[in-house]
Structure formats: structure tokens, C-alpha cells
Copies of this chain bind each other. A is one copy, B any other.
Amino acid sequence: MSKKYVYFFGDGRAEGKAEMKNLLGGKGANLAEMTSLKIPVPAGFTITTEVCTAYYDNNQKFPEGLREEVKINLAKVEEVMGAKFGDSKNPLLVSVRSGARVSMPGMMDTVLNLGLNDQTVNGIIEQSGDKRFAFDSYRRFIQMYGDVVLGLKPMEKDEIDPFEAIIEKKKEQKGITLDTEFSADDLLNLVTAFKQEIKNQLNTDFPENPVEQLWGAIGAVFGSWNNDRAIAYRQLNNISADWGTAVNIQAMVFGNMGNGCGTGVAFTRDPAIGNNIFYGEYLMNAQGEDVVAGTRTPQPINAQQKGDSPLPSLEEEMPEIYRQLLDIREKLEKHYRDMQDVEFTIQKDQLWMLQTRSGKRTAFAAFQIAVDMVREGLISKEEALLHVKPEQLDQLLRPIFDSREKQKAIEEGRLLAKGLNAGPGAAYGKVVFNALDAEEWADQGQEVILVRIETSPEDIRGMNSSQGILTARGGMTSHAALVARQMGKVCVAGCGTLKIDYKKRRMDANGTVINEGDYISIDGTTGEVIQGKIKTLPPEILQVIINKSLKPEESPIYQQYAEIMSWADEVRTLGVRTNADQPGQVTTAIAFGAEGIGLCRTEHMFFEGDRIDAVREMILAETEEGRNKALAKILPMQKEDFMEIFRVMDGFPITIRTLDPPLHEFLPHSEKDIKNLAGRMGISMDTIEAKIESLQEVNPMLGHRGCRLGIVYPEITRMQARAIFEAACEVTREGIKVMPEVMIPLVGHVKELAAQKKLVDEVAREVMSSNHMDLKYLVGTMIELPRAAVTADEIATEAQFFSFGTNDLTQTGFGLSRDDAGKFLRYYFAQGILDNDPFQQLDQAGIGKLMQIGVENGRKTRPELKIGICGEHGGDPSSIEFCYRLGLNYVSCSPFHVPIARLAAAQAVLKNR
């Protein structure tokens, strides 16, 4: 902890600056920066975030010396503002606000008008010449202080605020309905009544001493860092509990002191669509809350936004102030090189800036602004790349709900539930409760939403036929979520409040019953599930690059996307591949810029068409001969799949993983399905049930899967290798370039890989020699077990490439089942033990350490070893940056994550320069 606790700003001089966000919080750092830029900012000072951390480390006590520093800085503020804290003639009033490293809007506490008491209020009357204003400020202060600092607030959710109760009573007495109808005396009465209420309820006096008020407020703001709302917000936004908040103490300025006063908020550009216009609104004679509260209709800031508004704009009403604001707008954009979101107050014809920060914007706006700013020469291409959040790209690539229709539905009470936003986008359809129905209904041209308690691999075709998938169980990496994202399907997962009754073909959502065939709409970007049908809008980019229903020049959004992607490709060094195993997915991925397949799962192919029966026959066979017979049926089908994919990928490398999941996943589970299968295969149900029983495992994740299948049943690996190499030879004859990379999963020991590689090499030699060809191919392995990572030097003696399977590496490295972790991980977030879900964002300190050991050891043996990642993390920007730093060659992600990965890979280079 540094020695300095407090940073002053005011009168064009500031001890802090914008770069000091971690220490001063975003608000404090930017107030300091604006001050140094000679922009008018009320003087004040910032207590650092380190004080907050120390406060919590030290049993909620302030560090030694803080009081002295605050005193000194308060004196400086008094000097600059020409007023005195606690003075009865010309009192200084201050605001006390939180300010974390990143904005946490509304989550923490604020106290305004601090410094008022029975004496100083007279000074305010004198200064403002407005008794009513002074008493109103005073009663607001007591109300806020009582709530925030003294904790006098409703205990129950539906209880009325004790201060509001007094106000209501007063209104009744007076027979009025609006606050504004109170006279100055009424407000003074309220002040007295509020103080009495505090005394009655808390058995303590409201503190008249401004210094005591100030320390109470500082403590309350620090305390609010750990209120429930703030903790919840941090979890949602990956904000560490360790960061702490700063406290900003700043001279009050008033936009509600009568004429020539006002307050407003503005964006330096349009945050919704990104146009280069000054965008904002304001209220005359009002305080900041009034703009946000929406009780009065705000006025437009300028002519461009006036539209049909009968109200005058700021530009018309106070042209000089507007001109000053325009200057500040330009200054800020030039200085910050980004679109800003500002707050301002006009006190008696003087403009004061109270906040500036990087403005939040939609993806559409982000792209427009980035491209425009480069064109305007304001920023470089590299900076533009850093202005667009990779995650936001998702927004451009998903169908979206018409927001007005959705809002209406919610207002009508049609929001059924909220789950995890597992597959972004918007979809509606008729509810079906099983995968077969989904297929059938879809074949009949109906739009369906597949609703399941959870999904399994046998649901794949049904999932593919659906507009969207909704599940009651499972997390962000559950089967439903994983497959949905790879398919680009909308998915809401883990919607625990839904009671799904398969037998009755209906579900109950908090009392609303939805039957099979009823329409629902699901928003995979927000997790909302809504009754009925809500109109969707198709994303333009897809219309251009996939459907070709729109020409590039017809879509400005596409053009911005394409431009930024081309800049990203110039900068990035990491390759970007895709995880895909269907020709359609592959086509999409290539349109999105994938440069190869990093993970082609072969098991999904096993569910296509009628081949699942052959797969089941193989599993049920008791002899190698029986298995070979069944495998011979699968071979031509699997070969056909590979040929299709090879044709699409012409020239790009393709990593094909041999069979990975435990065999029981391929067997039916319901009695009906078992009966059907028994009938088709001419065997008894008992036989099938006995096999299912024998394949059951205590911990399937750590069981008989991955290369362990190929070691027990080498004939499976041989069949798959044969399908790959026969397909490769055949398309080569068609003039297609093929570069297969055979990947052996779940290797823990070099000898496992050696044994499987031997089989693959044997079959490859055999097939190529009978085809008189000599194709290049590689055999490599997943690094997805800790043992593989720490013995990577040995494994690299056999492996010609590595691909990190970070899903399983996270499960085994952490000893954490992703199917079970949901139940207790929320306690981890609540207690700050983990800041985010390691299945969504790579745990760099731990799992990343294993990866680092794997990379270093692997390249010790093979310095040029090609290393990629094909876990879900391959589509996560922070994880991609980590992969870049580790020196990986490529990342591989689902098709819809490919543009995200391209952008994140470029940012990784720029951030690490």
C-alpha cells in the first residue's frame, strides 16, 4: 500500500490522472484528468481503493493518518470553492460517492448535500436566496443519510420507506399529491420529523457535526462495497472482490437553484447506432436524479435530437453553454480517443462537468464508431481494434427480438422464467418435449423449441431441427449449451424453476402451464423465456456471408464488420480454427474466417441417419468379430462424412478426433427405445439392459472413454483411421487438397498414444499403398489430463501436435465435475473464492500453469511442436489472450465464435506489445 491515501483535484490541478483507475476508481481518475484538461470540474478529492482494502483487512477500521489527509484536502477544496465546510454563512456542501475500478452503476451508495445542519442551512438560504431550495436540500440529505449511513430503511421487501411514510402522511394532511407542492415550511417540518424518526427508531441523534457526517458517509460507501447487490453485480461482471472502491468527496454544485440552472447527461456519439452526433438530454432546474428518475420529460440537447419534441433544446435555450459543451465533447474525444459518456450540471449559468467515462454502446455502435474514428484520423486501426469488445460480436451474429414486442410481453406478465444465456440469439417456436417430436414437427415445416430436463447425445438431431433449446438442468457447458453453441442454436439452459412433465407433455412455470404445441420465445442472450411468439430480426452479417440474401454493399454493418476483421487479421499471429463436424457447420465457420478444423468430433456422426443402430450393434457385440461386422457397416458412412468435410475444407488442415465418449452414451435409455432396439436387432431387452448396466460407471468422466476405448477395442480406431484415409485418398483423386491430423483423446501416458498411433499408422500405410498414394498426415493428441501436461516431454516423442482440451483439463486439474459444480460454485463466487466460472474463462493461475508446463515440456522434445486449444475456452477472449502469451499456434472454437477469436487474437497482440 502506498503512503498517500488521498488525491486532490480542482482549479486546473490534479494529483491523479486517468491511468490511475485501479487506485482512484474510474470516476476519481477521470475527474482528475478532466481537471488537468482545464475542463470545469467542482473541486474535490479521492480516497484510494487501497484504503478500502485496508479498511476490510483491518476489521473495518480506517488506516492511521487518513483523517489528517482528508482534513488537509478538505481545506484545499474550501479554498478553491471559496466556501467553508460547516460555515453558517457560506457553507461548503459536498457529495460522497463510490467509484470502483470499473463502473458498477447504482450498486453502491452515495450521499449528497453533506455538510447541512441547522446552522449551515441558513448559509445556503443566504447564498441561494431560496429558502425552499435550502430546506428541500436539507430534508433530502437527512433522508439519504438516514438510509445509507444510519441504515434506517425498510426491513421487508414490501414495507414502505419510513421517510417516505412521513412524506405521504404530510401530503395527506395538506391534501396535496406532489413533492413540489410542499412549501418551504412544510419542508422544514419534514426535516424535524425526519430527525425525530431517526431518534425514535435508532435511539440516536442525527449528527449535526459536518465532520462526523463526512466520516459516517465515507464508512458507508466503503461498507456498500460488500452489500448484496454489489456482490451479485461483481459475480455477473467478473469483478474481483479484492479491488475495493474509492470514495470521491466533491464540492456540490446545484442544477436546481432556480433559473440558469440545469443538469444533463450526454454521449459524445450515438451509443445505439454509433452516428457521429452529440447525443444527450437535460432538465432545467433539476438535480441529477431527476433526469434518471423519469418523473419529468427531459429536453433534447440539440436540434438533431429534437424530433417532435415541443420542448426547447439546450442548444436553443442556452447557446453559450451548449457551445462550451461541444468544445468539451471535442476535447474529451480527442484526449480519450474514444466515445465518452458525460454528466454535467449548470449552476447559475456556469457549466460544471461531474463525470466522464468511456460510453457503453451496442455492438452496432461499437463497430460504427471504431470505423468512423479511424476514418476521421482520430485513432489508428490498432486502437480501433481495442475499442470493440470481442464478446459484442456475438450480438451482431444472432437473430434478435424486436425489443418493443419483447418489452410489451414482459409488461403483460408473459415472462415465464429466466435461465442461463447459454446460446445467444432469439428464437420462438412451438414447445415439444422430445427430440423425435422436434424432428417430426420440423419436417412438417413447424418451428419448434425443444424443451428437455436435460439433453443427451441422442437428442442431437432433434436439437438440430429446433429453433432453440430450453433445459431445466445443466450449466453453461452442459451438453445442451455446448452443442447449441456449436450449432449456433439459441439456448437457455438450467432454467431450474420450470417443472417439466414428460408424461403429460407440459411444463409449469411458476403456475403458468405451457402445453406441447404452445408458442414460447427464448432469448439466449439474456436467458429470458417468454410465453407466446415475439418477432425476431435476422442479423445482417449472416444474410450477407451465409444466406447471400443481402449484398455486402447493401449492409453497412457487414462492411464495418468486414473492415475490422481485416484489420484484426493483419495484426493477429494466432491461427483460428473451428470445432465442427457437419458440412454445414464447416461452411459457416469458413465464411466466418476459420482457417481449419481444430476439433472434428467423430461421435456426433454416429447419430446420423440409421447408423446409430450399427453403432449399437457394435457395442452389443460380445466378440471382436461381431464388432468388426458392425464396424464394417459404419465405415462407408463415416468415410462419406469425411469426404464431404474434406471437400469443404479444401487445403485447410482438419484435426479429427477418434471416438471419445463412453459407449453407454450411444445406447437407448427409455424402456420404449430399448424395446424398439431389441426388436430391430432381434435380441432380448435383457441383453441390452445388461449391457447398459455393465457400462454404468461411478465417475463416467474418469471412466472408460477417450483413447481407453481404442485400447480395449482397437478395431474401432482402425475403422476410423480407415474411413479417414480412404476418404482422403478418394477426394485427393478429385483434386482436393487434404491435410488430416488424427487426434487421440484422453491420453495420460505416452504409451497410450504410441499404441493408438501404431494402429493409425498401420492403417494409413495400408490404405495409401493400396491407393498408390503418399499423403501427408499427422498423429497427435489432446492434452486434457494433468498427467499428460506434466509428462508432455515424453508424450511429444510420439505426438506430432498437441491440442489442449481445456474443458477436461479444468475438470481434472480442479477435481471439479462441470455437471455437478453448479450446486456449490455460487458459494465460491459469493465468498470471493473464485471470481468466475473456470469452465467459461480459463483459470490461468492453475489450469493455465498446467498448460504452460505442457507447452514447455512438449517443445523441449519437439521445438517446432504445433500446439492448439480446442476446449470451449478457445472462444473466450481472455483465454485467447492467455493462449497467445503461452505461444500456442492456434485456437479452435465453435463456428459462431470464429470472428470473436479473430478479434481477440488481434487484441492479444496489441495488449502484449
Is A895 among interface residues, defined by CB-CB distance under 8 A? no
A824 and B704 form a contact (CB under 8 A):
yes
- Of the listed stretches A53-61, A190-198, A408-416, A749-757, chain B binds A749-757
Chain B CB within 10 Å, residue with most, of A785, A786, A824: A786
Given A748-B846, A794-B845, A820-B703, A813-B787 contact (CB < 8 Å): yes
List 9 contacting pairs A-B, 8 Å CB cutoff, sorted by A. A698-B700, A698-B817, A699-B700, A746-B815, A748-B815, A786-B786, A786-B815, A786-B850, A787-B813
Residues in B with CB closer than 8 Å to A648 are: none
Distance, CA A833 to CA B700, complexed state (A): 21
Is A702 among interface residues, defined by CB-CB distance under 8 A? yes
Distance, CA A850 to CA B751, complexed state (A): 19
Distance, CA A189 to CA B847, complexed state (A): 75
Given A712-B827, A786-B812, A846-B790, A819-B751 contact (CB < 8 Å): no
Interface 1/0s, chain A 783-815, versus B by CB < 8 A? 011110011001000000000000010011111
Is A417 among interface residues, defined by CB-CB distance under 8 A? no
Q: Per a CB cutoff under 8 Å, which of B752, B821, B849 touches A833?
A: B752
Q: How many residues of A contact B (CB 8 A)?
A: 50
B698 and A791 form a contact (CB under 8 A):
no
Is A550 among interface residues, defined by CB-CB distance under 8 A? no
Is A774 among interface residues, defined by CB-CB distance under 8 A? no
B819 and A815 form a contact (CB under 8 A):
no
Chain B CB within 10 Å, residue with most, of A699, A791, A843: A699
Is A701 among interface residues, defined by CB-CB distance under 8 A? yes
**Least Cβ distance of A712 to chain B in Å?**
5
Is A321 among interface residues, defined by CB-CB distance under 8 A? no
Distance, CA A649 to CA B832, complexed state (A): 38
B833 and A751 form a contact (CB under 8 A):
yes
**Least Cβ distance of A782 to chain B in Å?**
11
> Hey, which bits of chain A sit against chain B, CB under 8 A?
697-704, 708, 711-712, 746, 748-749, 751-752, 755, 784-787, 790-791, 794, 808, 811-817, 819-821, 823-824, 827-828, 831-834, 843, 845-847, 849-850, 853
Residues in B with CB closer than 8 Å to A820 are: 697-700, 702-704
Distance, CA A827 to CA B714, complexed state (A): 11
B699 and A833 form a contact (CB under 8 A):
no
Residues in B with CB closer than 8 Å to A712 are: 824, 827
Residues in B with CB closer than 8 Å to A702 are: 699, 701-702, 811-812, 815-817, 820
**Least Cβ distance of A305 to chain B in Å?**
48
Distance, CA A827 to CA B701, complexed state (A): 19
B698 and A816 form a contact (CB under 8 A):
no
A831 and B755 form a contact (CB under 8 A):
yes
**Least Cβ distance of A651 to chain B in Å?**
35
Residues in B with CB closer than 8 Å to A827 are: 711-712
B815 and A808 form a contact (CB under 8 A):
yes
Chain B CB within 10 Å, residue with most, of A698, A784, A817, A846: A846
Residues in B with CB closer than 8 Å to A833 are: 711, 749, 751-752, 755
Distance, CA A698 to CA B846, complexed state (A): 24
B849 and A791 form a contact (CB under 8 A):
yes
**Least Cβ distance of A27 to chain B in Å?**
28
Chain B CB within 10 Å, residue with most, of A702, A821, A843: A702
Closest 8 CB pairs of A and B: A786-B786, A702-B817, A699-B817, A787-B846, A698-B819, A703-B820, A790-B849, A785-B815
B808 and A785 form a contact (CB under 8 A):
no
Residues in B with CB closer than 8 Å to A832 are: 751
**Least Cβ distance of A749 to chain B in Å?**
6
Q: Per a CB cutoff under 8 Å, which of B784, B790, B817 touches A850?
A: B790
